Structure 1
Amino acid sequence: MKRWEITENNINLVWEITDENEIKLLHFSVLDFEEENLESDTGVQSFYPVEILVSGQDRVGERHGSKYIQTSPGYRMKYVDFKDYRNEKGRKLEIITNDDITGIECVSHMQFYDGISVVRSWTEVVNKGQEAQGLEYVSSFVLNGIDKEGMTDFDDKMELWIPHNGWQKELCWQKYSLRELGLSVTQPKIMHRSSKAIEISNTGNWSAKEYIPMGYVHNREMNSSLFWQIEHNGSWYWEMSDQDGHVYLKLSGPTEHHNHWWKNLKPGETFVTVPVSVGSAAGGFDEAMDELTKYRRAIRRVNDDNEKLAVIFNDYMNCLFGDPTTEKEKPLIDKAAEAGCEYYCMDCGWYSEGYWWDGVGEWLPCEKRFPGGIREVMDYVRSKGMIPGVWLELEVMGIKCPKADRVPDDWYFMRHGKKVYDRSRYQLDFRNPAVIEHATEVIDRLVNEYGVGYIKMDYNIEPGIGTEINADSFGDGLLGHNRAYLEWLDGIFKKYPDLIIENCSSGGLRMDYAMLSRYSIQSTSDQEDYVRYATISANAPSAVTPEQAAIWSYPLTEGDNEEVIYNMVNALLLRIHQSGHLVNLNPERMGYVQEALDYYKQIRQDIKHALPYWPLGISQYTDPWVSLGLKADGRDYIAVWRRDSQEDIISLPVKHLKGKDVKVKCGYPQKCEVGFHWNKEAGELSVKLPARVSARLFELSYEK
Structure 2
Amino acid sequence: MAEVVFDPAERLWLLTTATTSYALRLDESDAPRHVFWGPALTVEQAAAIRTPVLSKISAVDGTTDEELVVEGSARFDAPSLSVRFPDGTRAFEWKYLDHTIDEGHLAIRFADRHYPLEVALHYRVGADTDVIERWTTLRHTGADEPITLLRTDSASWFLPYRAGYELTHTVGGWSNEFQLQRTPLTYGETVFTSRRGTSSHQANPWLFVRNGDEVWSGALAWSGSWRITVRHTPSGQTSFSGGFGHEGVSWRLNTGEEWETPVFAGLYATDGVEATARRWHVYVRNHVLPHADETRPVIYNSWEATEFDVNETNQKGLAARAAAMGCELFVMDDGWFGARTSDTAGLGDWEVNRDRFPGGLDPLIAEVHRLGMRFGLWVEPEMVNPDSDLYRQHPDWVLHMPNRTRTTLRNQLVLNFARTDVAEWAHKWLDQLAGRHEIDFLKWDMNRAFSEAGWPGEADQDRLWIDHVRHVYAIIDRLRADHPNLRVEACSGGGGRIDLGMLARTDQAWVSDNTDALDRIRIQHGYSTLYPARTMSAWVTDSPNQLTGRVIPLAFRFHVAMAGVLGIGGNLLNWTPEELTEATTLLKQYKEIRHVVQHGSQYQLAAGPVTGVQYTLGNEVVVLLWRPVVNFGKPPLPVRLKALDPSARYRTGAGECCGAVLLHHGLEPSLPTGDYASTMIHLTKINPS
Instruction: Report the TM-score, using the length of structure 2 for normalisation.
Output: 0.87
1:656 and 1:632 map into 2 onto residues whose CA distance is 11
Structure 1 match to 2:249: 261
Residues 557 and 580 of structure 1 are in contact (CA less than 8 Å); yes or no, is this contact kept in structure 2?
Answer: no
Question: Which one of the candidate residues 137, 150, 166 is aligned to 2:173?
Answer: 166
Give the superposition deviation at 1:224.
Answer: 0.8
Q: Kindly tell me: are residues 137 and 448 of structure 1, through their superposed partners in 2, closer, same or farther at Cα, counting changes over 3 Å?
A: closer
2:538 and 2:561 map into 1 onto residues whose CA distance is 5
Residues 586-610 of structure 1 show CA distances to partners (whole Å, capped at 9, x for unaligned) of 3332222112222222223333421
Give the superposition deviation at 1:197.
Answer: 0.7
Once the two structures are superposed, the pairs formed by residues 210-249 of structure 1 within 5 Å of their partners are 210-220=202-212, 223-242=213-232, 245-249=236-240
Moved more, 528-537 or 470-479: 470-479
Structure 1 match to 2:57: 41
1:498 and 1:328 map into 2 onto residues whose CA distance is 27
Give the superposition deviation at 1:367.
Answer: 3.0
Structure 2 residues not aligned, in runs of 5+: 1-9, 84-88
Structure 2 match to 1:413: 399
> Which amino acid letter does the alignment assign opposite residue 180 of structure 2?
W
Structure 2 match to 1:203: 195
Matched position secondary structure for 2:413: strand
Matched position secondary structure for 1:403: helix
Residues 625 and 645 of structure 1 are in contact (CA less than 8 Å); yes or no, is this contact kept in structure 2?
Answer: no
Matched position secondary structure for 2:362: helix
Once the two structures are superposed, the pairs formed by residues 578-593 of structure 1 within 5 Å of their partners are 578-593=568-583
Number of corresponding residues = 653
Residues 622 and 681 of structure 2 are in contact (CA less than 8 Å); yes or no, is this contact kept in structure 1?
Answer: yes
2:151 and 2:554 map into 1 onto residues whose CA distance is 51
Matched position secondary structure for 2:153: strand
Give the superposition deviation at 1:693.
Answer: 0.8
Residues 207 and 233 of structure 1 are in contact (CA less than 8 Å); yes or no, is this contact kept in structure 2?
Answer: yes
1:560 and 1:74 map into 2 onto residues whose CA distance is 57
Structure 2 match to 1:135: 149
Alignment identity in percent? 19
2:650 and 2:542 map into 1 onto residues whose CA distance is 31
Residues 133-183 of structure 1 show CA distances to partners (whole Å, capped at 9, x for unaligned) of 211112211123x1425xxx2xxx21100111321101111001013xxx2
Give the superposition deviation at 1:555.
Answer: 4.3
> Which amino acid letter does the alignment assign opposite residue 119 of structure 2?
C
Residues 648 and 688 of structure 1 are in contact (CA less than 8 Å); yes or no, is this contact kept in structure 2?
Answer: no
Residues 74-114 of structure 1 show CA distances to partners (whole Å, capped at 9, x for unaligned) of 7631333233331xxxx111122222122322111111122
> Which amino acid letter does the alignment assign opposite residue 636 of structure 1?
V
Q: Kindly tell me: are residues 616 and 284 of structure 1, through their superposed partners in 2, closer, same or farther at Cα, counting changes over 3 Å?
A: farther
Structure 1 match to 2:626: 641
> Which amino acid letter does the alignment assign opposite residue 612 of structure 2?
S
> Which amino acid letter does the alignment assign opposite residue 542 of structure 1?
T
User: Are residues 1:685 and 2:673 paired?
Assistant: no
Residues 233-262 of structure 1 show CA distances to partners (whole Å, capped at 9, x for unaligned) of 11111101135641111111114xx2x321
Once the two structures are superposed, the pairs formed by residues 459-478 of structure 1 within 5 Å of their partners are 459-464=446-451, 466-469=453-456, 474-478=461-465
1:78 and 1:414 map into 2 onto residues whose CA distance is 41
Structure 2 match to 1:85: 102
1:477 and 1:160 map into 2 onto residues whose CA distance is 32
Matched position secondary structure for 1:344: strand
Residues 614 and 629 of structure 1 are in contact (CA less than 8 Å); yes or no, is this contact kept in structure 2?
Answer: yes
Matched position secondary structure for 2:643: helix
Residues 52 and 135 of structure 1 are in contact (CA less than 8 Å); yes or no, is this contact kept in structure 2?
Answer: no
Residues 51 and 138 of structure 1 are in contact (CA less than 8 Å); yes or no, is this contact kept in structure 2?
Answer: no
Residues 30 and 224 of structure 1 are in contact (CA less than 8 Å); yes or no, is this contact kept in structure 2?
Answer: no
Once the two structures are superposed, the pairs formed by residues 53-64 of structure 1 within 5 Å of their partners are 53=71, 59-61=72-74, 63=76
> Which amino acid letter does the alignment assign opposite residue 551 of structure 1?
A
> Which amino acid letter does the alignment assign opposite residue 395 of structure 1?
E
Structure 2 match to 1:287: 275
Residues 388-432 of structure 1 show CA distances to partners (whole Å, capped at 9, x for unaligned) of 2222111111100022111261x2223236684432322112233
Q: Kindly tell me: are residues 333 and 261 of structure 1, through their superposed partners in 2, closer, same or farther at Cα, counting changes over 3 Å?
A: same
> Which amino acid letter does the alignment assign opposite residue 600 of structure 2?
A
Q: Kindly tell me: are residues 642 and 98 of structure 1, through their superposed partners in 2, closer, same or farther at Cα, counting changes over 3 Å?
A: same
Once the two structures are superposed, the pairs formed by residues 113-192 of structure 1 within 5 Å of their partners are 113-131=126-144, 132-144=146-158, 146-148=159-161, 153=163, 157-179=164-186, 183=187
Structure 2 match to 1:564: 554
1:235 and 1:682 map into 2 onto residues whose CA distance is 46
Structure 1 match to 2:586: 596
Question: Which one of the candidate residues 375, 379, 384 is aligned to 1:388?
Answer: 375
Give the superposition deviation at 1:371.
Answer: 4.2
Structure 1 match to 2:7: none
> Which amino acid letter does the alignment assign opposite residue 325 of structure 1?
N
> Which amino acid letter does the alignment assign opposite residue 455 of structure 1?
L
User: Are residues 1:699 and 2:685 paired?
Assistant: no
Give the superposition deviation at 1:635.
Answer: 2.0
Moved more, 71-80 or 278-287: 71-80
Structure 2 match to 1:629: 614
Residues 459-514 of structure 1 show CA distances to partners (whole Å, capped at 9, x for unaligned) of 11111373334655553221011111111111111111111221111111101121
2:368 and 2:35 map into 1 onto residues whose CA distance is 59
Q: Runs of at least 4 residues of structure 1 off by over 6 A? A: 69-75, 557-562, 675-678
Give the superposition deviation at 1:301.
Answer: 4.9
Matched position secondary structure for 1:199: strand
Matched position secondary structure for 2:394: coil
> Which amino acid letter does the alignment assign opposite residue 616 of structure 1?
A
Moved more, 115-124 or 607-616: 607-616
2:319 and 2:561 map into 1 onto residues whose CA distance is 20
Q: Kindly tell me: are residues 17 and 528 of structure 1, through their superposed partners in 2, closer, same or farther at Cα, counting changes over 3 Å?
A: closer
Instruction: Report the TM-score, using the length of structure 1 for normalisation.
Output: 0.85
Moved more, 429-438 or 411-420: 411-420
Q: Kindly tell me: are residues 378 and 419 of structure 1, through their superposed partners in 2, closer, same or farther at Cα, counting changes over 3 Å?
A: farther
User: Are residues 1:481 and 2:468 paired?
Assistant: yes
Residues 544 and 550 of structure 2 are in contact (CA less than 8 Å); yes or no, is this contact kept in structure 1?
Answer: no
Give the superposition deviation at 1:296.
Answer: 1.2
Q: Kindly tell me: are residues 280 and 686 of structure 1, through their superposed partners in 2, closer, same or farther at Cα, counting changes over 3 Å?
A: farther
Residues 52 and 74 of structure 1 are in contact (CA less than 8 Å); yes or no, is this contact kept in structure 2?
Answer: yes
Residues 648 and 658 of structure 2 are in contact (CA less than 8 Å); yes or no, is this contact kept in structure 1?
Answer: no
Residues 421 and 463 of structure 1 are in contact (CA less than 8 Å); yes or no, is this contact kept in structure 2?
Answer: no
Q: Kindly tell me: are residues 103 and 510 of structure 1, through their superposed partners in 2, closer, same or farther at Cα, counting changes over 3 Å?
A: same
Residues 196 and 224 of structure 2 are in contact (CA less than 8 Å); yes or no, is this contact kept in structure 1?
Answer: yes
